[in-house]
């Protein structure tokens, strides 16, 4: 058995049975091993940003890691943006990167680089395998590191000679260490803050916005008056009719400061201390009052669900019912607006759909206005690195066959990872892509004003992607995905119904 074969067998033994790949010469032994060892579902991406983003979407929905397969340091570099998003989402990913043979590296061949150095900022664990006999053990440790609470990217770098040499061994899975419990003192301090009658904000993320944990959080809120809010960068939230909802932290610093005005206490449940997305001249980067008391109930690596349960018990908080929703079932007509698109989604979203949200500026109203849609999971862009939406949808569809994925995609950021459409077609994935085509980087028009920049024609031209106009119908057809265009709400609803009722991918270019 060579090192590559021991890698594949160990990954399978550890429950990793899906690999998103864009291989090169250094990874050919891994590719050859797939013919010898059944069980690994290998999904080809035509760009490494598709591979890493798909692994993020898969991990968010499967609750276990997929592997990536990237070619040397430059291939890793192409995938770094979506590994950054995966890190922010706390997604388990086993990131496998091929590299120069150990005896070839000192010769400084063209692809030689500091692969470990590039992997480290997006990874919770990094290791370079040194010989074939250790590859299996290294792979088992990578899976364990990716799965350790709260989840993260574990990067295993494999020199090509370590893969082709014989002497490989299969390693057995390493048992997961349970997430540690929070201290009684942390529970008691949070309870004191909530009983104080001072305005209190409870900031949730990660497992704290799972369906059961969110119900517990609403018990606490109902019993004490503490307000609930979710970090904007949370990786996945279960929502829709019959489930408790939770507001997101606003993107706009001004809006966040307005909503948090008067807050005296902040209780963090797996969350970081709130900060604005960017700095702006003359404005505080902290959107809450600076004299507010901040208490960490639970750190990200701790058992968030248990912390909420124990806090609810400490407060003797009774169970509460999900509020009754009486939303309209009427489809909007006429002009395309954010509110109209949100209403259409509320009426037509399929049961148990997975919504991937990279709608950026046009879609800021979508999340709050769809809380009464059919039960679904919402996967937002987490790390702010655009180009994650289409790969996320790809990976989510691989992880959850039988569930429709709806990708709400801004046109400018969609161009970063357009190749995702080809993988959707190749894998026959059930994805409905709605491209919001305003033909400009609209979000940056607002940012120009936010930073006080005095923009002229040259600056504005840099934010215009309508010269020439992108034709998303033709782009989709070129990738093997059927597509059509909508210019009003009636046509959008017709196409959205049709796309969700048929197998495979379909793209709707919505002119906004």
Task: Report the pLDDT value the prediction gives residue 34, as an integer from 0 to 100.
Answer: 81
Q: Where does a domain end: 136, 164, 192?
A: 164
Residue 112, domain member (yes or no): yes
* 409 and 272 in a common domain: no
Q: With contact defined as beta carbons under 8 Å apart, do 139 and 14 qualify? A: yes
Torsion sign (Cα): 232, 236, 238, 240: positive
Task: Report the pLDDT value the prediction gives residue 367, as an integer from 0 to 100.
Answer: 94
* 373 and 428 in a common domain: yes
Q: With contact defined as beta carbons under 8 Å apart, do 41 and 17 qualify? A: yes
Residue 52, domain member (yes or no): yes
The SS3 call for residue 27 is helix
Q: With contact defined as beta carbons under 8 Å apart, do 418 and 483 qualify? A: no
Nearest CA to 43 out of 498, 364, 419, 339 is that of: 419
Q: With contact defined as beta carbons under 8 Å apart, do 194 and 315 qualify? A: yes
Nearest CA to 246 out of 266, 226, 264 is that of: 226
Q: What tokens were used for 279?
A: 């700095």
Residue 451, domain member (yes or no): yes
* 193 and 117 in a common domain: no
Q: If you write DSSP's letter for every residue of 129-158 in order, what string do you get?
A: --SHHHHHHHHHHHHHHHHSTT--EEEEEE
The SS3 call for residue 499 is helix
* 469 and 373 in a common domain: yes
Cα–Cα dist 205/229, whole Å? 9
Q: With contact defined as beta carbons under 8 Å apart, do 112 and 105 qualify? A: yes
CB atoms within 10 A of CB 462: 11
* 199 and 230 in a common domain: yes
| Structural domain boundaries, residue 61 | 3-164
* 196 and 158 in a common domain: no
Supply the CATH number for residue 407's domain: 3.40.50.970
Residue 463, domain member (yes or no): yes
Residue 333, domain member (yes or no): no
pTM of the model: 0.95
Nearest CA to 405 out of 509, 336, 503, 332 is that of: 503
Distances (CA, A) of 350 to 346, 363, 498: 9, 19, 12
Supply the CATH number for residue 219's domain: 3.40.50
* 14 and 134 in a common domain: yes
* 189 and 160 in a common domain: no
**Tens-level pLDDT at each residue, the chain (512 residues):** 999 999 999 999 999 999 999 998 778 888 888 878 999 999 999 999 999 999 999 999 999 999 999 999 999 999 999 999 999 999 999 999 999 998 988 999 998 899 999 999 999 999 999 999 999 999 999 999 999 999 999 999 999 999 999 999 999 999 999 999 999 999 999 999 999 999 999 999 999 999 999 999 999 999 999 999 999 888 999 999 999 999 999 888 899 999 999 999 999 999 999 999 888 888 899 999 999 999 999 999 999 999 999 999 999 999 999 988 777 889 999 999 999 999 999 999 999 999 999 998 899 889 999 999 999 999 999 999 999 999 999 999 999 999 999 999 999 999 999 999 999 999 999 999 999 998 766 666 666 666 667 677 776 667 777 788 999 999 999 999 999 999 999 999 999 999 999 999 999 999 99
Strand ranges for 62-105 from DSSP E: 66-71, 93-99
Residue 396, domain member (yes or no): yes
SS3 string of 250-298?
CCCHHHHHHHHCCCCEEEEECCCCCCCCCCCCCCCCCCCCCCCEEEEEE
Residue 171, domain member (yes or no): no
* 100 and 58 in a common domain: yes
* 259 and 201 in a common domain: yes
Residue 378, domain member (yes or no): yes
* 214 and 151 in a common domain: no
Number of domains in the chain: 3
* 160 and 29 in a common domain: yes
Q: Where does a domain end: 314, 348, 372?
A: 314
Q: Where does a domain end: 314, 348, 373?
A: 314
């Amino acid at each position: 058995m060579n090192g590559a074969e021991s890698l594949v067998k160990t990954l399978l033994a550890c429950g990793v049975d899906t690999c998103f790949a864009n291989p090169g010469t250094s990874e050919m032994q891994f590719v050859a091993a797939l013919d010898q060892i059944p069980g690994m579902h290998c999904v080809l991406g035509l760009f490494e940003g598709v591979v890493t983003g798909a692994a993020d979407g898969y991990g968010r929905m499967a609750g276990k890691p997929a592997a990536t397969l990237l070619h040397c340091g430059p291939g890793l570099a192409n995938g770094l943006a979506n590994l950054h998003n995966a890190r922010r989402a706390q997604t388990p990913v086993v990131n496998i990167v091929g590299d120069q043979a150990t005896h070839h590296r000192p010769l400084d061949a063209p692809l030689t680089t500091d692969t470990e150095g590039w992997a480290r900022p997006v990874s919770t664990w990094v290791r370079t395998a040194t010989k074939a006999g250790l590859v299996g053990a290294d792979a088992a440790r990578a899976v364990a590191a990716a799965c350790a609470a709260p989840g993260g990217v574990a990067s295993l770098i494999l020199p090509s000679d370590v893969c082709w040499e014989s002497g490989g061994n299969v390693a057995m899975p390493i048992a997961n260490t349970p997430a540690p419990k929070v201290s009684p003192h942390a529970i008691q301090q949070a309870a004191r803050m909530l009983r104080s009658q001072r305005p209190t904000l409870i900031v949730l993320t990660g497992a704290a916005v799972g369906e059961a944990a969110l119900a517990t959080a609403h018990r606490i809120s109902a019993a004490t008056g503490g307000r609930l809010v979710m970090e904007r960068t949370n990786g996945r939230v279960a929502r829709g009719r019959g489930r408790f909802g939770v507001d997101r932290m606003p993107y706009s610093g001004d809006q966040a400061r307005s909503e948090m005005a008067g807050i005296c206490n902040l209780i963090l449940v797996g969350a970081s201390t709130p900060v604005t997305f960017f700095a702006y001249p003359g404005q505080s980067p902290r959107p809450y009052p600076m004299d507010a008391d901040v208490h960490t109930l639970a750190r990200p690596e701790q058992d968030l669900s248990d912390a909420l349960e124990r806090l609810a018990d400490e407060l003797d908080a009774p169970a509460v019912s999900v509020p009754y929703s009486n939303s309209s079932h009427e489809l909007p007509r006429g002009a395309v607006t954010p509110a109209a698109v949100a209403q259409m989604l509320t009426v037509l979203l399929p049961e148990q759909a997975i919504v991937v949200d990279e709608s950026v500026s046009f879609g800021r109203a979508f999340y709050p206005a769809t809380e009464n849609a059919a039960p679904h999971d919402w996967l937002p862009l987490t790390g702010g690195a655009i180009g994650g939406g289409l790969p996320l949808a790809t990976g989510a569809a691989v992880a959850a066959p039988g569930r429709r994925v709806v990708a709400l995609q801004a046109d400018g950021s969609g161009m970063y990872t357009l190749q995702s459409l080809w993988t959707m077609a190749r894998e026959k994935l059930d994805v409905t892509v709605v491209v919001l085509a305003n033909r400009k980087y609209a979000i940056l028009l607002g940012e120009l004003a936010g930073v006080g920049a005095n923009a002229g024609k040259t600056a504005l031209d840099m934010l215009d992607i309508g010269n020439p106009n992108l034709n998303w119908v033709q782009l989709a057809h070129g990738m093997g995905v059927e597509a059509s265009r909508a210019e009003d709400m009636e046509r959008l609803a017709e196409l959205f119904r049709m796309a969700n009722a048929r197998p495979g991918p379909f793209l709707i270019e919505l002119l906004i």
